[in-house]
Amino acid sequence: MINGKPHSVEAPDTMPLLWALRDLLDFNGTKYGCGKGLCGACTVHVNGEAVRSCVTPISSLQNKEITTIEGADGNTLLKTVQEAWYDEDVPQCGYCQSGQIMNAAAFLSKNKNPDDDAINTAMNGNLCRCGTYVRVRRAIKKAAEKINGEQGSEN
């Protein structure tokens, strides 16, 4: 399942999810950065957990729920993070930002009220050559505020 819809591919078992998404299924939002799980540009969610798709073979994903950056519709948390990213004008070249956003969303699903240290630790594996870190930090705080605000108003 990718973004709530079933998909199947014909490919060798060892093919990483990244390349199945990009070359076979046309989900181009997920990016190739390093191929070794070092930079975080390829981050997606598998059953809600942030996973590096460049080192995740497709054989390990049968009947799993995969969410990519394209899956924000119907995923309130992901949508909120994207909006915060937009509001804070985070991206420069934007290439690492799908991975940054996916990682931040998975992090916020576990830590609803993070401080700077927690954000720094959680995002430390997502590299950005343009150097947008200051704004990534701001955007995560903004998204957290928004999430907490919305939950507060429901209570």
Partner 1 sequence: MERRNFFRITSLAGGGLLLGTYLPFSCTTVDESIVDWEPNFFIRIGSDNTITFICSQSELGQGTSTGLAMVAADELGVSMDKLKLEFGPGSSERYGYLQDTGGSNGLRMVWQSLREAMATTRGILVQAAAQKWNVAPEECYCEDGHIHRKDLNEKLPFGAVLDIASTLQAPREIQLKEPSEFKYIGKPVKGVKTKWATAGTTPYSINTKLPDMVYAAIERCPVWGGELVSFDGSKALEIPGVVDVMEVEPTELQQEDYRGGVRPGVAVLATSTWAAFEGKKALEIQWEMGKNGLKSNDDIRKELEADYQTKSEVVANLYDAEKLFPRGRKYISGTYDSPFQVNACMEPLNATAYHQGHKLEIWAGTQAPQLTRERIAELTGLPEAAIKVNNQPSGGGFGRRFFCDYVEEAVILSEKLRKPVKVTWSREDTFLTSKYHPLCKDYWEAALDANNFPVSIRYRGSINRPGAYRCYPYSIPFMSHSYLKYKEGRLLPRASWRSVFAHPWGLGMECFMDELAHNAGKDPLQFRLEVLKNAEIQEQKQWPWVGSDLYPKKLHNTLELVKEKSSWGRLRTNGIFQGVSAMCYNGSYCSMVADISVREGKIQVHKFTAVIDCGLAINPSQVKGQIEGSIMWGLTALLKTPITVKEGVVQESNYDSYDLLRMQEAPDVEVHIVETQDTPSGTGEVGVPGVAPAVLNAIFAATGKRIRQLPVTEELLMV
Residues within the interface to partner 1 (CB under 8 A): 11-12, 15-16, 18-19, 22-24, 26, 28-36, 38-39, 41, 68-70, 72, 82-83, 85-86, 89-98, 101, 119-121, 123-137
Q: Minimum Å distance from CB 155 to partner 1?
A: 29
| Residue from 50, 57, 47 nearest 19 by CA | 57
H-only helix segments in the chain: 17-19, 76-87, 97-110, 116-123, 133-154
- Could you please report the per-residue DSSP string of 100-118? HHHHHHHHHHH-SS--HHH
> Closest CB to partner 1 among 46 and 55?
55
Closest CA to 135 of 102, 86, 96: 86
Residue placing its CB nearer to partner 1 in the complex, 29 or 65: 29
**Beta carbon nearer to partner 1, 33 or 144:** 33
Judged by CB, which is closer to partner 1: 12, or 152? 12
